[in-house]
């Protein structure tokens, strides 16, 4: 039985640490979707907190279910400490802290909704990492330690890889799979060694048994949770899925990747990549449209059509769309995709005829889009486009009869009343739909306080829309296009958001369009004229395009307090690459600010170095236990240094907790040494080790035994004061006989019945005289011995 206890001690100390390292290695899969490696420190801190909580509570023999709940609470406290400033004592959750944490979680959800892998390691993303990896740590710890089934934790770890794999366009780092696989193999090896030693009488973990805490229940819950996560969460952000199509990973029912996601990613990435080369457009600075978004969801966002038709092939002559009377001068434009691979075949103006496109592409006359069911890189194709544009007077005369248009473009349910009031104020004195549209666009002029900036918050929703319209007034094309389209809907104008590219810059005989030309604008429908472009974004680098009808219709509007906005027209388009855009001749531009993933402060390197040394000493300590006296302090200092990167008070709290845990750690070490001596005779004979441990257990329970007492007198005192039951008394007699034979009869050979008797005595003490919580944290046998030494000194 002593061997079993040694193995149980091994399983509650080494296995949790190996399980945490396995979860940390698996979390490196996030390197494929998050920039840099800063997030890895947050994941490590979350796993440290979860593992330390489990180690401490299991040492106190806390039931498994309570251990898991305590780990979740500790994770919540960590979230409050890291991502809010309203926690009680800076650590514990209160109403204000929960509200602040909720705001961060909303931003986290928005970051997932619109972020393009790899996303920057912003505060919302880091919060999501701590939550996700912390929950994985709780599951893996429960399965590997409490349930004793580390193999079942493989399903949870598989989900850790499945989610980033579904988000990223490219393969995950190969070294992440090597680390995760190796760590999981080590975890299985640790459990396998334990099973080999105690195959027929495996020790049960504290708190396990039947019911909700049983291994079978835990494994079943983990399997169900893993399957649920695998069936739902992995569809988030999946690239390459089209509404109603079979390609990609998202299935039907809408784009799995939000349309603004790629736009944000192209504008925010450090490098500039050429996407298209366009010939035949001349000096016309028209926008290249990829897709349109007709649905306003009432929560501040726009989304594509739920299903796109596949009845109209994109090759040859194309049918007319709503409001299109045909005719107009046709321009032949050659579009050469260079590094563009997507579902869409972008087009200019109104496409009349498409040639040189492969089979499997379709045309949506209502949305003005050419698309495929699967992501692909297209060859060079030719579009015959109608680029003619109406005049301001022609647009004023169109009226507001939208009977031929799909009603989806007029839906304005769920728009915030404050936004509706703003739209009515801006358009109340306008007699035509065109003048209303111009008035809405003028509201976003720089003279009215609006600024264009790509480095803006990723927050979304109604509150973000209102903040952009009324207070912040800083954003990039997504915010401008979304806001104006919402105002147009509130004013009764049919509108949609278009996503595509500006005209780029002239390079030799073609126009070069790069990732920095990604753009969003508004299209408003006019009967008899079709969809007409309006761009509220105040671009100042010459890439914007102001249609002639907007120049004709722009006037000073004293009601809205806005003035005429000077946006470069087509004639002002640059003939060379803008200086602030990196080109093929200047590939390093724009990448200098890219943060290195290994740019860590010196304290991080010191902490990591100490952690590696401590881990090495810890593994080498088996058989040479004195090494632990060096490994443990080094580990404490390593965690102290790493926590200092996040918060000084968190480091101080860790140091205080580490010092407070010293008595319990010393007691645990002595208990382990005594049990080891009983199982493996060495410098201390088994009878002496067993007696010392029983005396310590009695002292911890408030019954210290004077050194003047003989073994038999001490045994009678313990049996009486602890109210031992009969089996425990009989076992205590066996231990006393073994001690007397060893001490007085000169028989050092181990008694074969000693280990079983010792285990029964300890079990009886725990049954009849359970330890109080204070005695577990501050064992009397440690404190009393220290006082006696001080008194003797």
Percent of the chain topping pLDDT 90: 16
Pick the most confident of 357-371, 544-558, 585-599. 357-371
The SS3 call for residue 294 is coil
pLDDT of residue 459: 52
pLDDT of residue 5: 45
The token pair that represents 639 in the structure block: 């965690």
Half-sphere exposure of 650 (CA within 13 A, CB side): 25
Asked if 531 and 323 touch (Cβ cutoff 8 Å), the reply is yes
Which is nearest to 194 in space by CA: 148, 252, 157, 249? 148
Q: Which residue has the tokens 């010092």?
A: 659
pLDDT of residue 7: 45
Half-sphere exposure of 593 (CA within 13 A, CB side): 10
- State the SS3 of 128-175: HHHHHHHHHHHHHHHHHHHCCCHHHHHHHHHHHHHHHHHHCCCCCCHH
pLDDT of residue 436: 93
The token pair that represents 372 in the structure block: 């495929």
Comparing 202-206, 281-285, 456-460, 725-729, the range with the smallest average pLDDT is: 202-206
Confidence check: pLDDT of 324 > 70: yes
Confidence check: pLDDT of 383 > 70: yes
231 pLDDT tier (thresholds 50, 70, 90): very low
pLDDT of residue 424: 93
For the full predicted model, state whether its pTM sits above 0.75.
no
Q: Which residue has the tokens 């008035």?
A: 439
Does residue 536 or residue 183 have the better pLDDT?
Answer: 536
40 CB neighbour count, 10 Å cutoff: 19
Confidence check: pLDDT of 457 > 70: no
Per-residue pLDDT tens digits for 756-773? 888 889 888 888 888 877
Comparing 260-269, 322-331, 362-371, 442-451, the range with the smallest average pLDDT is: 260-269
Comparing 128-142, 216-230, 493-507, the range with the smallest average pLDDT is: 216-230
Q: How far apart are CA 599 and CA 200, in angstroms?
A: 51
Per-residue pLDDT tens digits for 240-267? 333 333 333 333 333 334 555 556 555 5
Comparing 17-26, 80-89, 487-496, the range with the smallest average pLDDT is: 80-89
The token pair that represents 352 in the structure block: 């009349």
User: For the chain, which residues make up each domain, given as ranges?
Assistant: 2-205, 260-582, 665-792
- Architecture of the domain made up of 260-582: Roll (3.10)
Q: Give counts: helices (H), strands (E), the chain.
A: 25, 19
Distances (CA, A) of 172 to 114, 125, 179: 20, 18, 12
747 CB neighbour count, 10 Å cutoff: 14
For 463-614, where are the E strands, in sequence order? 474-475, 495-501, 505-507, 510-514, 518-526, 530-534
pLDDT of residue 527: 92
Asked if 384 and 330 touch (Cβ cutoff 8 Å), the reply is yes
End-to-end alpha carbon distance in the chain: 39
Does residue 692 or residue 211 have the better pLDDT?
Answer: 692
Q: How many Å separate Cα 300 from the centre of its chain?
A: 23
Confidence check: pLDDT of 278 > 90: yes
pLDDT of residue 67: 87
Q: Which residues pair with 340 in a beta bridge?
A: none
Q: Which residue has the tokens 């305590």?
A: 70
pLDDT of residue 747: 64
pLDDT of residue 546: 83
Mean pLDDT of the chain: 76
> What phi-psi label fits residue 702: left (phi over 0), alpha (psi between -120 and 50 degrees) or beta?
left
Strands 518-526 and 495-501, how do they pair?
antiparallel
Half-sphere exposure of 756 (CA within 13 A, CB side): 5
């Amino acid at each position: 039985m002593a061997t079993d206890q040694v193995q149980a001690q091994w399983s509650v100390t080494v296995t949790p640490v190996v399980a945490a390292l396995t979860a940390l290695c698996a979390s490196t899969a996030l390197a494929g979707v998050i920039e840099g490696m800063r997030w890895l420190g947050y994941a490590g801190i979350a796993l440290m907190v979860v593992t330390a909580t489990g180690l401490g509570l299991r040492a106190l023999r806390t039931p498994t279910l309570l251990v898991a709940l305590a780990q979740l609470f500790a994770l919540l406290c960590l979230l409050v400490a890291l991502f809010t400033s309203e926690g009680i004592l800076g650590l514990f959750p209160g109403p204000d802290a929960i509200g602040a944490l909720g705001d961060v979680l909303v931003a986290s959800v928005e970051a997932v909704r619109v972020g393009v892998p790899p996303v920057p390691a912003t505060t919302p993303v880091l919060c999501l990492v701590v939550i996700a990896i912390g929950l994985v740590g709780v599951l893996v710890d429960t399965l590997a330690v409490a349930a004793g089934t580390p193999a079942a934790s493989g399903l949870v770890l598989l989900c850790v890889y499945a989610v980033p794999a579904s988000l990223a366009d490219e393969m995950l780092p190969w070294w992440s799979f090597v680390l995760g696989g190796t760590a999981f193999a080590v975890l299985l090896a640790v459990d396998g060694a334990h099973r080999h030693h105690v195959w027929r009488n495996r020790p049960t973990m504290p708190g396990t048994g039947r019911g909700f805490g049983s291994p079978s229940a835990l494994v079943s819950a983990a399997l169900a949770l893993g399957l649920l996560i695998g069936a739902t969460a992995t569809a988030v952000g999946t690239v390459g899925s089209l509404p109603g199509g079979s390609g990609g990973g998202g299935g039907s029912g809408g784009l799995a990747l939000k349309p603004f996601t790629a736009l944000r990613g192209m504008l925010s990435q450090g490098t500039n990549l050429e996407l298209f080369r366009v010939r035949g457009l001349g000096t016309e600075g028209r926008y290249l449209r990829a897709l349109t978004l007709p649905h306003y969801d009432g929560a501040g966002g726009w989304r594509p059509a739920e299903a796109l038709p596949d009845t109209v092939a994109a090759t040859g002559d194309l049918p007319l769309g709503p409001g299109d009377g045909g005719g107009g001068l046709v321009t032949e434009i050659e579009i050469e995709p260079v590094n563009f691979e997507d579902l869409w075949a972008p087009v200019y103006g109104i496409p009349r005829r498409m040639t040189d496109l492969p089979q499997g592409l379709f045309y949506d006359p209502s949305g003005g889009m050419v698309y495929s069911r699967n992501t692909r890189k297209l060859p060079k194709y030719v579009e015959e486009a109608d680029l003619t544009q109406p005049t301001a007077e022609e647009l004023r005369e169109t009226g507001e009869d939208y009977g031929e248009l799909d009603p989806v473009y007029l839906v304005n349910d769920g728009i915030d009343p404050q936004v509706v009031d703003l739209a009515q104020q801006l358009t109340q004195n306008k007699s035509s739909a065109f003048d209303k549209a111009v008035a809405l666009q003028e509201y976003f002029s720089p003279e009215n306080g609006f600024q264009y900036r790509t480095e803006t918050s990723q927050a979304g929703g109604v509150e973000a829309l209102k903040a952009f319209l009324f207070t912040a007034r800083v954003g990039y094309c997504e915010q401008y296009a979304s806001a104006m389209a919402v105002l147009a809907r509130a004013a009764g104008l049919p509108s949609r958001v278009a996503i595509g590219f500006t005209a780029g810059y002239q390079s030799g005989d073609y126009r070069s369009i790069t990732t920095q030309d990604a753009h969003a604008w508004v299209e408003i429908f006019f009967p008899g004229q079709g969809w007409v472009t309006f761009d509220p974004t105040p671009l100042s680098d010459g890439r914007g395009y102001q249609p002639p009808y907007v120049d004709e219709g722009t006037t000073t509007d004293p009601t809205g307090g806005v003035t005429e906005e000077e946006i470069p027209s087509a004639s002002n388009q640059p003939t060379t690459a803008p200086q602030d855009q990196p080109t093929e001749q200047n590939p390093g531009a724009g990448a200098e600010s890219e943060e290195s993933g290994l740019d860590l402060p010196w304290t991080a390197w010191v902490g990591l170095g100490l952690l590696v040394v401590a881990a090495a000493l810890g593994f080498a300590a088996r058989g040479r236990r004195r090494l632990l006296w060096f490994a443990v302090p080094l580990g404490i200092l390593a965690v102290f240094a790493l926590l200092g990167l996040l918060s000084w008070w968190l480091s101080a709290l860790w140091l205080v907790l580490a010092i407070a845990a010293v008595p319990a750690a010393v007691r645990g070490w002595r208990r382990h040494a005594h049990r080891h001596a009983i199982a493996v005779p060495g410098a201390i004979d088994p009878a002496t080790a067993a007696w010392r441990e029983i005396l310590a257990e009695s002292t911890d329970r408030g019954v210290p035994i004077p050194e003047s007492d003989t073994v038999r007198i001490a045994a009678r005192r313990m049996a009486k004061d602890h109210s031992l039951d009969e089996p425990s008394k009989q076992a205590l007699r066996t231990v006393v006989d073994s001690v007397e034979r060893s001490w007085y009869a000169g028989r050092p050979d181990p008694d074969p019945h000693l280990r079983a008797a010792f285990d029964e005595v300890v079990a009886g003490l725990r049954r009849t005289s359970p330890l109080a919580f204070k005695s577990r944290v501050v064992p009397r046998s440690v404190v009393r011995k220290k006082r006696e030494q001080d008194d003797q000194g």
